[in-house]
């Protein structure tokens, strides 16, 4: 089971994730987020570190040049687009780096595959999170109905996100979809925004794997 921990804001916790064999670490570059990393971890610190964990830069409606500048400065491995980015932007970025496109699922979502049509050929992964377009952009601790994904074809590796917590191990293990690639955890493992409870994460990882 691949695991992504999003909203990392310190080098120490990034190193700890690496020690836990976490697969992906999310670094949030959206200035409106309480987990904004830009003023907390410097690009130099990242460049001088040697991690196996893949660094995922999270962006919300950022311009192409700004994304690629951050990719270079922070030696990012993947970008995660969490806003209303166009297929054209995804395609441009995908020429240089792997792209995760986020889709927010709410009670009004009827057909997941309809959301994905324009993005099939322009990104590498999908990520499904809770909430409509006007809601908070991640880290809300809210789940959506995973059955909507079970019914969908999707046909691309995807991350399952949205309110996943320490008590969800059995539910995760019971979830079935041929393209289910990873889980993405965040606020349910925090003592404060951007500060992870590593003991809680360690216990969760051991139970899940």
Taking Cα atoms as reference points, which of 102, 95, 87, 50 lies closest to residue 71?
95
Strand 98-105 to strand 54-59: parallel, antiparallel, or no bridges (unpaired)? unpaired
Burial group, residue 187, by CB count within 10 angstroms (0-12, 13-18, 19+): buried
Question: Residue 132: its pLDDT value, please?
Answer: 53
Burial group, residue 62, by CB count within 10 angstroms (0-12, 13-18, 19+): buried
Question: Residue 135: its pLDDT value, please?
Answer: 42
- Dihedral of alpha carbons 209, 79, 83, 137, sign: positive
Instruction: Give the separation between CA 194 and CA 91, rounded to whole angstroms.
Output: 30
Instruction: Give the separation between CA 86 and CA 77, rounded to whole angstroms.
Output: 21
Residue 26 β-bridge partners:
56
Dump pLDDT digits (tens) for 31-77.
Answer: 999 999 998 999 999 999 999 999 999 999 999 999 999 999 999 99
Dump pLDDT digits (tens) for 6-40.
Answer: 999 999 999 999 999 999 999 999 999 999 999 89
The CATH number for 2-208, chosen from 3.90.1150.10, 3.40.50.300, 3.30.1370.60, 3.20.20.70, is: 3.20.20.70
Are 133 and 156 within 8 A, CB to CB?
A: no
Question: Residue 137: its pLDDT value, please?
Answer: 53
Average pLDDT, the chain: 94
Asked if pLDDT for residue 125 goes beyond 80, the answer is: yes
Are 9 and 37 within 8 A, CB to CB?
A: yes
Residue 103 β-bridge partners:
128
Question: Residue 171: its pLDDT value, please?
Answer: 97
Domain ranges of the chain: 2-208
Question: Residue 90: its pLDDT value, please?
Answer: 98
Question: Residue 134: its pLDDT value, please?
Answer: 41
Asked if pLDDT for residue 133 goes beyond 80, the answer is: no
């Amino acid at each position: 089971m691949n695991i992504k921990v999003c909203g990392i804001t310190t080098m120490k916790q990034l190193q700890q994730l690496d020690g836990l064999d976490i697969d992906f670490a999310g670094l949030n570059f959206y200035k409106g987020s309480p987990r904004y990393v830009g003023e907390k971890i410097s690009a130099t610190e990242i460049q001088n570190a040697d991690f196996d964990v893949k660094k995922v830069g999270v962006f919300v409606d950022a311009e192409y040049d700004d994304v690629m500048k951050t990719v270079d400065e922070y030696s990012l491995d993947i970008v995660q687009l969490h806003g209303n980015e166009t297929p054209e932007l995804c395609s441009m970025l995908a020429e240089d780096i792997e792209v995760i496109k986020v889709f927010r699922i709410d009670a009004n979502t009827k057909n997941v595959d309809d959301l994905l049509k324009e993005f099939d050929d322009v990104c590498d992964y999908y990520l499904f999170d809770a909430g409509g377009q006007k809601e908070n952009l991640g880290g809300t601790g809210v789940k959506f109905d995973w059955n909507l994904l079970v019914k969908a074809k999707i046909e691309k590796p995807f991350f399952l996100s949205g309110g996943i917590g320490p008590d969800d191990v059995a539910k995760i293990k019971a979830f079935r979809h041929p393209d289910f690639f990873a889980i993405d955890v965040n606020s349910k493992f925090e003592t404060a925004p951007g500060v992870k409870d590593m003991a809680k994460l360690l216990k969760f990882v051991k139970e899940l794997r």
